[in-house]
């Protein structure tokens, strides 16, 4: 059985005081039960302080981005080993905002994925189509291209220590959510694609859904066979909203 992973992507929000309040609310409200794991991904400046607040709790720590380089003259970048050093177990790579706003290519995302793994960090590889791509009927093709950048360079085995997040770009921050059936269809496609490389492993990989997930729609999405959790933006910024999704995972 795959565990649920409920991951909060705080994006570029908060302050020292706000992040302390948010994480203490989350840590205090972790639902009872098993079969799920919580994760928060704060902005870089707050990683170390959030790390000390989640230490010993059931909440894991992740970052939102990482350099594909190990160290050196890369002004403004953060090395995978630095994330590990401050207590990150996960890092998001290839979020659609990184791809669209900062021009990250699938090849660069694959390099970040591998660099994170080499430092002992689990990458959360984001894939997803835009509205135009969905309407043009190219959703699966777009997802395949994003997945294959990793599969072709590193093989399916690397997904033994990775998470995938399916995030339809049209659903991110828009209030539009993929229906459970729409999401399931793509999740199933992703798992089938991985299975062509390693059928056993494909059954074990966690595939999260992201895009306007909230307490009200979480149970429906999490009830689908191939949906193993969520990558949550807006609803991860308030402890009670995030915990409502965690509760849905605990009940599923
Ligand atoms: P959202 O963001 O939940 O605000 O739609 C999800 C994400 O971008 O990871």
Hey, where are the domains in the chain?
Answer: 4-251
How far does the centroid of ligand 1 lie from the alpha carbon of residue 11, in Å? Answer: 9
CA angle 217–219–223, rounded 5-degree value: 125
State whether the beta carbon of 61 lies less than 6 angstroms from ligand 1.
no
Catalytic residues: 95, 167
The CATH fold of domain 4-251: TIM Barrel (3.20.20)
SS3 content of the chain, % helix, strand, coil (to 5): 50, 15, 35
Ligand 1 nearest atom to the CA of residue 165, by list position: 9
**Residue 96 alpha carbon to ligand 1 centre in Å:** 10
Residue 23 · residue 54 · CB < 8 Å: yes
CB atoms within 10 A of CB 243: 21
The pLDDT profile of the chain, 252 residues, written as one tens digit per residue, is: 799 999 999 999 999 999 999 999 999 999 999 999 999 999 999 999 999 999 999 999 999 999 999 999 999 999 999 999 999 999 999 999 999 999 999 999 999 999 999 999 999 999 999 999 999 999 999 999 999 999 999 999 999 999 999 999 998 888 888 899 999 999 999 999 999 989 999 999 999 999 999 999 999 999 999 999 999 999 999 999 999 999 999 999
Atom of ligand 1 nearest to the CA of 171: 5
CA distance 7 to 214: 12
User: What's the Cα-to-Cα distance from 103 to each of 106, 111, 155, rounded to whole Å?
Assistant: 10, 14, 24
CA–CA distance from 50 to each of 12, 22, 86, 245 (Å)? Answer: 15, 10, 10, 20
pTM: 0.97
Please tell me the distance between residue 162's alpha carbon and the centre of ligand 1 in angstroms.
19
Q: Which atom from ligand 1 is nearest to the alpha carbon of 213?
A: 3
């Amino acid at each position: 059985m795959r565990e649920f992973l409920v991951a909060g992507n705080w994006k570029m929000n908060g302050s020292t005081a706000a992040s302390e309040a948010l994480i203490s609310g989350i840590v205090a409200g972790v639902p009872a039960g098993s079969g799920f794991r919580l994760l928060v991904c704060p902005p870089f400046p707050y990683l170390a302080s959030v790390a000390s607040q989640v230490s010993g709790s059931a909440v894991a720590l992740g970052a939102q981005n990482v350099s594909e380089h190990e160290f050196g003259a890369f002004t403004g970048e953060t090395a995978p080993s630095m994330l590990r050093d401050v207590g990150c177990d996960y890092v998001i790579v290839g979020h659609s905002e990184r791809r669209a706003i900062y021009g990250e290519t699938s090849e660069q995302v694959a390099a970040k994925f591998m660099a994170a793994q080499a430092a002992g960090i689990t990458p959360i590889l984001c894939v997803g189509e835009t509205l135009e791509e969905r309407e043009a009927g190219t959703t699966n093709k777009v997802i395949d291209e994003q997945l294959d950048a990793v599969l072709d360079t590193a093989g399916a085995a690397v997904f033994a220590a990775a998470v995938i997040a399916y995030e339809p770009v049209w659903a991110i921050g828009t209030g539009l959510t993929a229906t459970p059936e729409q999401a399931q269809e793509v999740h199933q496609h992703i798992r089938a694609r991985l299975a062509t490389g390693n059928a056993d492993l494909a059954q074990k990989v966690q595939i999260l859904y992201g895009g306007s997930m909230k307490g009200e729609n979480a149970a429906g999405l999490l009830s689908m066979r191939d949906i193993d959790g969520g990558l949550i933006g807006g609803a991860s910024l308030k402890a009670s909203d995030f915990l409502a999704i965690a509760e849905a995972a605990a009940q599923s």
